[in-house]
Amino acid sequence: MRARYSLYLFTVPALLVIGLFFVHPIILTFDMSLTNFAGIGEAKDVGWRNYERIFGRDRYLREIWLTLWYTVIVVSALTVTGLFFAAMLHRLPLIRNFSRAALYTPAMMSFVVVGYVWQFLYSPLNGGINVALRDLGLGAWEQNWLGDPAIALYSVAFTQIWMFTGFTCAIFLAGFAGIPEEIGEAGRLEGATSWQRFRYLELPLLGPSITVSVMLTTIGTLKTFELPFILTKGGPDGATRLLSIDIIDNLFGQYKFGFASALSIVMLVIVLIVAFIQNKVLRDREQA
Amino acid sequence: MAELALKNAIKRYGATQVVHGVDLQVDDGDFCVFVGPSGCGKSTLLRMIAGLEETSDGRMTIGGRDVTHADPAKRGVAMVFQTYALYPHMTVRENMSFGLKIGGTEKSEIKRKVDAAAQILKLDDYMDRKPKALSGGQRQRVAIGRAIVRQPDVFLFDEPLSNLDAELRVEMRVEIAKLHKQLGATMIYVTHDQVEAMTMADKIVVLRDGRIEQAGVPVKLYEDPDNLFVAGFIGSPRMNFFAGTVARVEAGIAHVTLPRLGGVEVPVSVSDLPAAGQAVKLGLRPEHFEPGGAIQTELAIDVIENLGGVSYAYSSAEGDEHPVIVELRGKTRPGESGALSVAFDPSSVLLFDSETGQRIR
Ligand SMILES: Nc1ncnc2c1ncn2[C@@H]1O[C@H](COP(=O)(O)OP(=O)(O)OP(=O)(O)O)[C@@H](O)[C@H]1O
Ligand SMILES: [Mg+2]
């Protein structure tokens, strides 16, 4: 029996670190979310008032939906493009390493750099994309990419997808590397086309990679604020105002520490719920 | 009708050539075994036939059709991999059906063929299991079943039994041989196992460094090898080689002296007579030492292995590449090391040119 207890003893350092740097701040944030603390002065207890406000107003519910929608778009696109490039590169061993590095470069760049570059590309008059369209004779397709509420969210999402495709591609390439070569060769001998091999042999065997990739990109995208903040600041007309943008705005714009904390807690709960459901669903699919 | 023919088949990886102009004819319904030391190009040659490796040069026909650059699926071949290469996410039935399904075969037809193959291979009880819930032998059977259902003209096996334990290997060996009889299909089988090669093959192809050293029926390769390499490679325990010199040539008989055997002189009858003084190698299989032989000599034995039915006596001397092995039979076998008188008949020795390694017939 002594041996059993001593086993738990070894987890104490890890538990301490988690408690100190993870649980403790969350508890502090939760405490603060029950106050109207404004950065200075006294923090007055206001009970659940902050939460009542969040769930009582359309504005915040809309932001939650927008955040979820943005995440759905970005994560689906990242999964599909990552799989596409990984499947391509898997079949082209000669350029694989070079292309993987090239694809991964955007993910290594600072959000600030990416944000400013794409702000230029998207800018309505002399922006790179509109100029290119004009030069190609496709002037009719010119858009006010970041200024039109109907498409701003998708423009921001596109930049995020561009930035992180290399990341998902790298995960999937690692997954492909784990599939024995003979499996594909057996498929070829049986007459499976490249697409059939992907669909019936490789895709099912990539299950664990898909789980990892979807989980990581979902959590990352739910929390993201950098690109919308730099590109649109949540505008136009709130079209890209994600939950995270509002948190930043409340915190550093209006110094509503208490309310921002409540929003953060809501966000944390959303991330946890989504991650939990995803993990369950994806793991079950892997088993099947 | 599905005979296989290779004409001057060459495989290059960039600048390195690993298969050097192989000419090979495998008749319809033959069981052909590729043997050779590791790295000699057995797998490469098999994969070239499968179409998994591009043939750099030369021609390849299956059943008269030129398939040199044909798509793997269009060659009428099926392959059983050493690692089985089963689809881990599919059940046994799905594994065996996959090729037919994507080929657009009708459902009832697929079921009929898969059930028939399962019956032959005694897989009926495992059809709904995934590969990871099967033993090695069962997996191997599934891999063979997957090949059977497609009714290929040529079956290709790459060391299919090397992952199995000795007992199962014997069992599967017999089963594959039975299967060959039953299906009557052409089979090409890669192995480095002597016994598999000798027992299963209609035709053995001995490869070395990407070249065919000799091809023929097993007995022919065993009794009448073309060169030192084949003589040493086929047969277990291996053939003994003694360096010698042709002392004199008289009346169509070369008299060879063997320093390793106490300088005995062995008269060898060959038609292509070597010159007196030429260095030769004399090959003698362990079982060709017989007490009643005409040539008598002595060997210093250091180890005797008793396998029950036979014993093997080993004699090593300085400068020997391999010890001399003597097979001992009968009731009165010497049990311990020491000097042993041995004898053999000159008619059972083979003569080789020391320089080229070619047989002197
Ligand atoms: N992709 C490659 N590039 C260069 N050389 C290769 C390549 N693949 C195989 N070779 C070489 O080709 C030769 C034959 O290899 P192969 O796998 O056919 O040998 P093998 O006879 O099957 O050996 P084993 O009994 O160990 O399986 C080897 O010398 C190997 O190094
Ligand atoms: Mg091999």
pLDDT of residue B172: 86
pLDDT of residue B250: 87
User: Of B179, B161, B175, which Cα lies nearest the Cα of B83?
Assistant: B161
Q: How confident is the model at residue A61 (pLDDT cuts 50, 70, 90)?
A: confident
Tell me the CA distances in angstroms from B317 to A32, A117, B323, one per residue in order: 90, 80, 7
Q: Mutate which of B18, B49, B56 to test ligand 1's pocket (most atoms within 8 Å of Cβ)?
A: B18
Percent of chain B topping pLDDT 70 = 99
pTM to 2 decimal places: 0.82
Position A31 pLDDT exceeds 90:
no
pLDDT of residue A128: 85
Q: Which atom of ligand 1 is nearest to the CA of B42?
A: 21
Q: Which of A126-140, A227-241, B203-217 has the highest mean pLDDT?
A: B203-217
**Which secondary-structure segment (H or E) carries B229?**
helix B228-233
Position A2 pLDDT exceeds 90:
no
Q: Do the Cβ atoms of A190 and B89 come within 8 Å?
A: no
Position A247 pLDDT exceeds 80:
yes
B72 vs A188, A200, A207: nearest CB: A188
pLDDT of residue A132: 87
ipTM: 0.82
pLDDT tens column, B298-313:
889 988 888 888 899 9
Strand partners, B204: B33, B216
Summarize the confidence of residues B191-206 as an average pLDDT: 90
Summarize the confidence of residues A47-62 as an average pLDDT: 85
pLDDT of residue A288: 63
State whether residue A190 sits within 8 Å of chain B by CB.
yes
- Separation of alpha carbons B24 and B41, rounded Å: 14
- Which residues of chain B lie closer than 8 angstroms to A185, CB-CB? 52, 72, 79, 81, 85
Q: Strands of B311-315's sheet, edge to edge?
A: B303-306, B311-315, B324-328
Summarize the confidence of residues B19-29 as an average pLDDT: 92
| Contact in structure between B328 and B291 (CB atoms under 8 Å) | no
Q: Mean pLDDT score of chain B, rounded to an integer?
A: 90
The closest residue, in CA terms, to atom 5 on ligand 1 is: B13
Q: What is the DSSP letter of B322?
A: S
pLDDT of residue A1: 52
* CB interface of A with B, residues 200-239, below 8 Å: 200-201, 204-205, 207
The closest residue, in CA terms, to atom 29 on ligand 1 is: B39
Instruction: Count Cβ neighbours within 10 Å for each residue of A14-34 and write b for 16 or more, e otherwise.
Output: eeeeeeeeeeeeeeebeebbb
Q: Mean pLDDT score of chain A, rounded to an integer?
A: 88
Residue B198 CA to ligand 1 center (angstroms) comes to 23
Residue B343 CA to ligand 1 center (angstroms) comes to 43
Query: Is any atom of ligand 1 closer than 6 Å to the C-beta of B191?
Result: no
B83 vs A182, A188, A190: nearest CB: A182
A205 vs B74, B88, B99: nearest CB: B88
Residue A180 Cα, gap to closest chain B Cα (Å): 8
- Count CB pairs under 8 A between chains A and B: 56
pLDDT tens column, B81-139:
988 899 999 999 999 999 999 988 899 999 999 999 998 888 889 999 999 999 888 99
Domain with CATH 3.40.50.300 in chain B: 4-233
Q: How confident is the model at residue A3 (pLDDT cuts 50, 70, 90)?
A: low
Residue B27 Cα, gap to closest chain A Cα (Å): 22
- Which residues of chain A lie closer than 8 angstroms to B51, CB-CB? 189
Q: How confident is the model at residue A175 (pLDDT cuts 50, 70, 90)?
A: very high
Closest residue, chain A, to B52 (C-alpha): A185
Position A287 pLDDT exceeds 80:
no
DSSP track, chain A: -HHHHHHHHTTHHHHHHHIIIIIHHHHHHHHHHTB---SSS---B-TTHHHHHHHHSHHHHHHHHHHHHHHHHHHHHHHHHHHHHHHHHHT-HHHHHHHHHHHHHHHHS-HHHHHHHHHHHH-TTT-HHHHHHHHTT-GGG---TTT-TTTHHHHHHHHHHHHHHHHHHHHHHHHHHTS-HHHHHHHHHTT--HHHIIIIIIHHHTHHHHHHHHHHHHHHHHH--HHHHHHTTT-STTTT--HHHHHHIIIIIS--HHHHHHHHHHHHHHHHHHHHHHHHHHHHHHH-
Vertex B350, ends B354 and B286: CA angle to 5°?
110
- Separation of alpha carbons B361 and B352, rounded Å: 8
pLDDT of residue B309: 85
pLDDT tens column, A119-172:
889 888 888 888 888 888 887 787 888 888 888 899 999 999 999 999 999 999
Q: Which atom of ligand 1 is nearest to the CA of B44?
A: 18
Summarize the confidence of residues B267-283 as an average pLDDT: 90
Q: How confident is the model at residue B321 (pLDDT cuts 50, 70, 90)?
A: confident
* Preceding amide of B88 cis, omega within 30: no
Query: Is any atom of ligand 1 closer than 6 Å to the C-beta of B16?
Result: yes
Q: Which one of A182, A185, A189 would you mutate to disrupt binding with B, by most B Cβ within 10 Å of its Cβ?
A: A189
Structure tokens at B162: 């090397």
Q: Which atom of ligand 1 is nearest to the CA of B46?
A: 18
Q: Fold for B4-233, please state it.
A: Rossmann fold (3.40.50)
Summarize the confidence of residues A256-276 as an average pLDDT: 89
- Separation of alpha carbons B91 and B139, rounded Å: 11
Residue B40 CA to ligand 1 center (angstroms) comes to 7
Query: Is any atom of ligand 1 closer than 6 Å to the C-beta of B13?
Result: yes
Question: Looking at domain A67-287, what is its CATH homologous superfamily?
Answer: MetI-like (1.10.3720.10)
Q: Enumerate residues 6+ apart whose C-beta is below 8 A from B135.
A: none
Position B1 pLDDT exceeds 60:
no
pLDDT of residue B49: 93
